[in-house]
Amino acid sequence: MSDGTPDFDTLKREWEARPFLAALSIEVERLEDGFARLTMPRNHITVGGIRNSINGGVVASFGELAAKVALSTMIGPGESIEGVVDIGLSYLTSARGNPTIAEGRVLRKGGRLCVCDVDITDGEHGGMNAKARVSYAIKRPPRER
């Protein structure tokens, strides 16, 4: 990551210090260039969905977060993630594993947009709970004239 992006250990600490991650006990398990693997345990905050599963809104937020963390590994000097442009999520099975895992991958990072893919799976049995596609707007530094 010699292009000026933070090292993975620093990114991991920064993300895990955020209140949302702490409140849901989410851990950043692995970071690579354009990839993030997050884990989330079942607890009294996350459970509330059908069949004693993790709430669907929590699953959606977890997927969006995994995409954003993956993208953060590729943000260079002067760039910033401006926000979600589009998100599509397909619920496949109830998220009842402990933990639930989200793996986010950057499919393409362009000049102003980035598209990420996320798999949300059962950490106990490996079954796919949900699939997400998330697009972000990226702010780039002004061009020098």
Output the CA torsion 34→57→17→7 (10° steps): 0
Q: What is the pLDDT of residues 101-116, one digit of tens each?
A: 999 999 999 989 999 9
Q: Domain locations in the chain?
A: 8-139
Q: Taking residues 4-29, what's their average pLDDT?
A: 85
| CATH classification (class only), 8-139 | alpha beta
Q: What is the pLDDT of residues 125-138, one digit of tens each?
A: 889 999 999 999 99
The total of other beta-carbon atoms located within 10 Å of residue 99's CB is: 21
Q: What is the pLDDT of residues 44-82, one digit of tens each?
A: 777 777 777 888 899 999 999 999 999 999 998 889 999
Q: Which carries the bigger pLDDT value, residue 48 or residue 29? A: 29
